[in-house]
């Protein structure tokens, strides 16, 4: 475990060159496959370690513990963590408040250097972090690598964006005055990330908060606490001053206490619609002693559609739907859970899906199959319930069963239902698992009407060779991230600012040029010239 580093050792660093996305690893190369295999062995020897809370740079233990388990082998403990008590939560807020009084005035180069140092450390240990993701949340090699690469991208991108924001100016200089527009930090924030991208989203929200001068109380998901603890080690090694990020592990009660605390200034959350709306409601209620309106930055899921027009390239469309629906076992808010197919192509599309889906491999993600487990027993039970509903609402054409393993992991077959009505439960409710509903559309306009008929608006895609149809989708397909002739997952930092409409959240556009503004407040300064 890393120890706190004296903040005076921070070396001012500035980004070198323009931002470039971190390249993905080619695991078909022998040397790269060996790297991840070696990392899995090395990290495997570190499983079961006990981690402390991190409050004001100090390690602390508590009386209550929580355990993280490998979803592919549920008896295997990945990490043992302290569950924060109300006293710990209060201490974390106080530590963040204390650190804010100095961190808010730290020069932008000092704050960006922290992110850049962390990026370098993670890049040098990429295979190790991939292995942690495989053990803790069941990602295969490619999914784990994408998560780590996106973590690096967020750190590098937000460092550059912070420098850009620091040079912001007013649109004009009023005659006889010197006019400035300063983007100053908000204060202490709660960062509550999800388990499905436990490195990238957790690190991205945290990095955006601290690079703009805020301090953070970080409450990770109870399904992915070890990744967060490892990230705290990286931040300390990178030179983070004590109290800038405070780690408070625990369940809903811990999150609720942080959200409702009168000294919490903002909440950055990614997760379910239900929890996101509860956070929004709790944050809106002014607490005694609170002197600001709390800001919520919410990403809350989706019910995402891919439209396949009758003139689409069938090979590309089938591959895009399968990858979007079953990558990481469908456990992505951007996953395709609805394929909307124009009538002339409908039957042949179903035949192709029925043929292709059973070829997907399922198993221990450490062995790199196409699909690993779902995250826990509760998720498996919920998904199986939706599968039973789907058998009543559609025609089962692939999957539908649990996959038995000696370790009793949480494995489900990729499951596809055809002939699903647009208003069916499996066509409307977020399942967050490997379940795809196929819906027949009478026409392209009808397909767009169906695509827009949910309460969500996160991602969507259209496959068509017709330029007019693509342009029409640009105008009327109401999602935050629209993809044309490609899959609807895999948003890249910088290229695809990510965030959705309606019940998908506050359209926060993570990885985009506007994101850091959400963690700041604008201050106009006008000085009369003499």
**What are the structure tokens assigned to 109, written together?**
């180069």
Contacts of residue 310, defined as CB under 8 A and 6 or more positions apart, other chains included, come to: 342, 343, 344, 345, 444
**What are the structure tokens assigned to 87, written together?**
């006293």
| Nearest by Cα to 453 from 265, 279, 267, 307 | 307
Check: CB of residue 246 under 8 Å from CB of residue 56: yes
| C-alpha–C-alpha distance, residues 203 and 118, integer Å | 10
**What are the structure tokens assigned to 307, written together?**
């439209």
**Torsion over CA: 379, 380, 383, 388 (sign):** negative
| Nearest by Cα to 217 from 228, 201, 230 | 228
| C-alpha–C-alpha distance, residues 200 and 204, integer Å | 6
| C-alpha–C-alpha distance, residues 214 and 220, integer Å | 18
- The 3-state DSSP class for residue 21 equals coil
| Nearest by Cα to 328 from 284, 269, 371 | 371
Contacts of residue 419, defined as CB under 8 A and 6 or more positions apart, other chains included, come to: 394, 395, 438, 440
Q: Annotated active-site positions, please? A: 299, 333
3-state secondary structure 213-264: CCEEEECCCCCCHHHHHHHHHHHHHHCCCCCCEEECCCCHHHHHHHHHCCCE
DSSP 337-371: EEEEEEHHHHHHHHHHHHHHGGGS-BS-GGG--SB
Report the DSSP beta bridge partners of residue 298. 269
| C-alpha–C-alpha distance, residues 500 and 98, integer Å | 35
Tell me how many degrees the CA angle 90-93-99 measures, rounded to the nearest 5. Answer: 140
| Nearest by Cα to 298 from 248, 325, 348, 333 | 333
Q: How many CA atoms within 13 Å lie on the side-chain side of 497?
A: 11
**What are the structure tokens assigned to 13, written together?**
């660093």
| Nearest by Cα to 272 from 193, 215, 335, 366 | 193
Neighbouring CB atoms inside 10 A of 41's CB total 11
> What are the backbone dihedrals phi and psi of residue 505, each rounded to the nearest 5 degrees, phi first?
130, -160
């Amino acid at each position: 475990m890393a120890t706190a580093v004296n903040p005076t050792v921070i070396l001012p660093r500035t980004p070198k060159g323009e931002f470039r996305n971190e390249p993905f690893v080619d695991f078909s190369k022998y040397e790269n496959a060996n790297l991840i295999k070696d990392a899995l062995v090395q990290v495997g020897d570190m499983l079961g370690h006990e981690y402390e809370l991190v409050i004001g740079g100090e390690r602390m233990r508590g009386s209550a513990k929580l355990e993280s388990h490998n979803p592919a082998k549920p008896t295997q403990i990945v990490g043992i963590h302290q569950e924060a008590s109300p006293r710990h939560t209060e201490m974390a807020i106080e530590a963040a408040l204390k650190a804010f009084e100095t961190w808010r005035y730290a020069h932008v180069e000092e704050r960006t250097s922290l992110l850049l140092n962390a990026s370098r450390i993670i890049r040098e240990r990429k295979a190790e972090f991939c292995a942690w993701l495989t053990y803790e949340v069941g990602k295969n090699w490619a999914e784990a690598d994408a998560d780590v690469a996106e973590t690096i991208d967020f750190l590098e991108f937000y460092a550059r964006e912070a420098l850009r924001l620091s040079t912001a100016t007013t649109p004009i200089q009023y005659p006889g005055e010197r006019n400035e527009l300063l983007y100053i930090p908000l204060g202490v924030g709660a960062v509550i990330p999800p388990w499905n991208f436990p490195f990238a989203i957790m690190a991205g929200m945290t990095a955006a908060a601290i690079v703009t001068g805020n301090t953070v109380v970080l409450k990770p998901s109870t399904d992915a606490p070890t990744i967060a603890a490892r990230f705290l080690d990286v931040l300390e090694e990178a030179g983070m001053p004590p109290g800038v990020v405070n780690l408070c592990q625990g369940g809903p009660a811990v999150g609720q206490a942080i959200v409702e605390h009168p000294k919490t200034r903002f909440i950055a959350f990614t997760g379910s619609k239900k929890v996101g709306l509860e956070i929004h409601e709790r944050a809106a209620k002014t607490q005694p002693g609170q002197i600001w309106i709390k800001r919520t930055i919410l990403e809350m899921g989706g019910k995402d559609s891919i439209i396949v027009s009758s003139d689409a390239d069938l090979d590309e469309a089938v591959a895009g739907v399968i990858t979007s629906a079953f990558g990481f076992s469908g456990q992505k808010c951007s996953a395709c859970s609805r394929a909307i197919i124009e009538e002339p192509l409908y039957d042949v599309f179903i035949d192709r899906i029925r043929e292709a889906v059973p070829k997907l491999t399922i198993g221990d993600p450490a062995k790199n199959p196409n699909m690993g487990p779902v995250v826990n027993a509760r998720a498996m039970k919920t998904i199986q319930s939706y599968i039973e509903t789907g058998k009543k609402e559609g025609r089962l054409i692939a999957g539908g069963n649990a996959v038995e393993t000696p370790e009793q992991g949480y494995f489900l077959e990729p499951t596809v239902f055809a002939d699903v009505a647009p208003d069916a439960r499996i066509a409307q409710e977020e399942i967050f698992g490997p379940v795809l509903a196929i819906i027949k559309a009478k026409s392209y306009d009808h397909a767009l009407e169906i695509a827009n008929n949910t309460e969500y608006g996160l991602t969507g895609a259209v496959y068509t060779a017709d330029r007019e149809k693509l342009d029409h989708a640009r105008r009327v397909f109401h999602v935050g991230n629209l993809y044309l002739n490609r899959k609807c997952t895999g948003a890249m930092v910088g290229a695809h600012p990510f965030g959705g409409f309606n019940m998908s959240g506050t359209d926060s556009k993570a990885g985009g040029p506007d994101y850091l503004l959400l963690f700041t407040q604008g201050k106009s300064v006008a000085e009369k010239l003499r």
